Amino acid sequence: MNIATVFEIVLASVVLGLAIWTIAVAETYSATVGFVAYSLLVALIWVRLDAVDVALTEAAIGGGLGGVVLLGAAARLRDAEALTVEQASPIVRMSAAILSASITAALAFAILLLPDPAPTLAPTVVANAGATGMTNPVTNVLMAFRGMDTMLEKVVLLLAIVGVWSLASDRAWGGRPGPRHQADPNGVLAFLARLLPPAGIVVGVYILWTGADHPGGAFQGGAVLASMWLLVIMAGLADTPPVSSRWLRLILVAGPGLFLAIGLGGLWLGPAFLSYPAAFAKPLILGIEVAMILTIAATLGLLLAGAPERSSQ
Amino acid sequence: MSVARDIMTIAGVSVGAFFFLAGTVGLLRFPDTLTRLHALTKADNLGLGFVVLGLLPQSGSLRDGLKLISIWMLALLAGATVSQLIARMVRQSGTTR
Amino acid sequence: MTEFLTAAVGLILAMLALGLVSILRGPGDADRMMATQLIGTAGIAALLLLGTVTGVPAAVDVALILALLATFASIAFVKKGLPRLEADGVGSAEDE
């Protein structure tokens, strides 16, 4: 048993232990903090498995936006929790436990049943990497070989925003999402919100740009940009834009819109939907990704900001 | 040349790991929240700093080295901000146990 | 060299696991949040070492994102879901 195996076993048992503790602990708040730490460790595991693209997403979502959502929700729930005396009956808890245990067992069974070596398209993807002029296989799959799935994912993001906005009351419709955050303009938070975003924007653009040949891409970059935007909003330095803003809506549809337009162009001028002409594949894909990073940043930021609750005046 | 680089790496990473150890022990053993905060942010940032210093000779290019240093800078900024915010919150709520 | 760096990753991972004990134990939420901060920094260090050991240079990018977003969970924690941040200001704690 070499040292790398020991390391993997330790990492796996730490993550499993933390996961079990997160489920077992009674207090929502402690469980949430445990979960934030858990997602950091999972990012380590993804790197160890050589899935750095996934690790980047896990770090950007789990470390940044997910933590903000969960901790904010736990803080709001805390007051409600103190008031409720109601407890789920033993039967309900028992059946929930049985359900979760059987799902885990089914997943474990399915993994053990996989043929060895598992069926994979990875060699084909690597062999055709030159077709788009980009060498990151994940970007090739997402943007070219399975471009349709990625486009529909962006439409799902748009639907999520529509869903959040539809929670607004009639009076607030068209107004600004979320509360107006306030903090001392000379305080620590405002200081951070002035210092960090310039660096963060550079990192976000870098992650998008490096995604052509190395792990990275529009979603990870967009999540970083969204975090920076949210930091400025939380520090009270900027307000959320009113949802009736035409600019905002244009940015929200820019990514899927351009993707769809280029896809239809492939159907019209080329052989199939979303087929890129070989000479222009890389510029076209980069163009889509630039539009997408803006859409993703705006969408994630607005999802966290919440439903419109103040009129725009 | 390569030996000198390796020695620098071993020295830097060892000192870094020691500071992580110190920070963790401080977090577990110090008596109240504010002293624990002190132990954590000091040792933590020094630990990462020495690890970065140790890895610098192993980085292939100037760009990689600058990236390592900027990671440490960002971690320093995060540590400084977070310790201020948490300390003020603890002091306001008055529960320093 | 590789063995040494792997051992260093293991040691830092052990520190990280000890930090988890502090999440379990508390006693206050502030202590839990501090432990998460420690785990974040230890995770960054482990990623940097791991990237060098396994020859995955992109691991450094993961560390970069973690370092950039390290403050976010703590800010959400301090804000307690409220729009107004109480524990802020130049002399807010000293003015009492």
What pLDDT is recorded for position C95? Answer: 40
Tell me whether B85 touches chain A (CB under 8 Å): yes
The pLDDT mean for chain B works out to 83
**Of B88, B77, B79, B70, which Cα lies nearest the Cα of B33?**
B88
Cis peptide upstream of residue C27 (ω within 30 degrees of 0): yes
Q: Is the pLDDT score of A73 beyond 50? A: yes
Q: What is the mean pLDDT of residues A232-245?
A: 85
Contacts with C41 from chain B: Cβ below 8 Å: 44-45, 47-48, 75, 79
* Cross-chain residue pair B81–A199, CB shorter than 8 Å: no
Counting Cα atoms < 13 Å in the Cβ hemisphere of C58 gives 25
- Flag the least confident range among A2-11, B25-34, B70-79, C83-92: C83-92
The pLDDT mean for chain A works out to 85
CB atoms within 10 A of CB A207: 27
Domain boundaries, chain B: 2-93
Domain boundaries, chain A: 1-119, 122-313
pLDDT tens track for A193-221:
899 999 999 999 999 888 878 888 888 89
Contacts with C17 from chain A: Cβ below 8 Å: 10, 14
Q: pTM for this one? A: 0.88
pLDDT band at residue A1 under the 50/70/90 scheme: low
Counting Cα atoms < 13 Å in the Cβ hemisphere of C3 gives 2
Counting Cα atoms < 13 Å in the Cβ hemisphere of A209 gives 6
Query: What's the token pair of residue B48?
Result: 């990462």
What pLDDT is recorded for position C94? Answer: 40
User: Taking a C-beta distance cutoff of 8 angstroms, is the pair A213, A160 a contact?
Assistant: no
What pLDDT is recorded for position A49? Answer: 86
Q: What letter would DSSP give residue A170? A: T
Containing H/E element for A171? none
Query: What's the token pair of residue A289?
Result: 């990704």
Contact residues for A146 (Cβ-Cβ < 8 A; gap 6+): none
What pLDDT is recorded for position C11? Answer: 84
Q: CA B78 to CA B73: how far, in whole Å?
A: 9
- Flag the least confident range among A13-17, A276-280, B12-16: A276-280
Question: Where is pLDDT greater, at A192 or A313?
Answer: A192
Interface test with C, best of A2, A3, A29 (most C CBs within 10 A): A3
Cis peptide upstream of residue A117 (ω within 30 degrees of 0): yes
DSSP string, C72-89: HHHHHHHHTT-SB-SS-S
Tell me the nearest-neighbour CA distance from B5 into chain C, angstroms.
11
Q: Is the pLDDT score of A275 beyond 70? A: yes
What pLDDT is recorded for position A108? Answer: 93
Query: Which of A99-103, A234-238, B56-60: highest mean pLDDT?
Result: A99-103
Contacts with C58 from chain A: Cβ below 8 Å: 52, 56, 214-216
What pLDDT is recorded for position C92? Answer: 46
Query: What's the token pair of residue B47?
Result: 């630990």
What pLDDT is recorded for position C93? Answer: 42
* Cross-chain residue pair C32–A30, CB shorter than 8 Å: yes
DSSP β-bridge partners for residue A310: A176
Q: Is the pLDDT score of B66 beyond 80? A: yes
Tell me the nearest-neighbour CA distance from C20 into chain A, angstroms.
8
Q: What is the mean pLDDT of residues B47-58?
A: 87
Q: Is the pLDDT score of B96 beyond 70? A: no
* Cross-chain residue pair A207–C61, CB shorter than 8 Å: yes
Q: CA A201 to CA A204: how far, in whole Å?
A: 5
What pLDDT is recorded for position A84? Answer: 66
| Sites in chain C below the pLDDT cut of 70 | 81, 85-96
pLDDT band at residue A286 under the 50/70/90 scheme: confident
- Flag the least confident range among A76-85, A107-116, A121-130: A76-85
> Alpha helix (H) ranges present in A132-217?
137-140, 147-165, 188-210
Strand residues in A50-91 grouped as ranges (E): none
pLDDT tens track for A139-177:
888 887 888 888 898 899 999 999 998 888 888 888 888
- Complex ipTM value: 0.85
What pLDDT is recorded for position C6? Answer: 81
What pLDDT is recorded for position A160? Answer: 92
pLDDT band at residue A83 under the 50/70/90 scheme: low
Contacts with B23 from chain C: Cβ below 8 Å: 15, 38
What distance, in Å, lies between the first and last C-alpha atoms of chain B?
52
Helical pair B33-55 and C29-54, crossing angle rounded to 10 deg: 10
Q: CA A147 to CA A59: how far, in whole Å?
A: 24
pLDDT above 70 covers a percentage of chain A that reads: 96
Contact residues for A298 (Cβ-Cβ < 8 A; gap 6+): A226, A248, A251, A252
Contacts with B70 from chain A: Cβ below 8 Å: 199
pLDDT band at residue A17 under the 50/70/90 scheme: confident
Q: CA B53 to CA A14: how far, in whole Å?
A: 28
What pLDDT is recorded for position B65? Answer: 87
Q: CA A105 to CA A9: how far, in whole Å?
A: 21
* Cross-chain residue pair A224–C14, CB shorter than 8 Å: no
Classified as helix, coil or strand, A127 is helix
AA letter at A274: L
pLDDT above 90 covers a percentage of chain A that reads: 16
Q: How far is CA C11 from CA A4, B65, C5, in A?
A: 13, 24, 10
CA angle B47, C76, C9 (to 5 degrees): 25
Burial class (CB in 10 A: 0-12, 13-18, 19+), A121: exposed
Query: What's the token pair of residue A45?
Result: 């595991």
User: Taking a C-beta distance cutoff of 8 angstroms, is the pair A248, A204 a contact?
Assistant: no
pLDDT tens track for B11-34:
888 888 888 888 888 888 888 878
A188, A195, A199 ranked by CB distance to B84: nearest? A188
Q: What is the dihedral of CA C49, C53, C57, C61, to 10 degrees?
A: -30
Residues in chain B: 97
Residue with tokens 């990280």: C16
Provide residues of A within 8 Å CB-CB of chain B.
188-189, 191-192, 195-196, 199
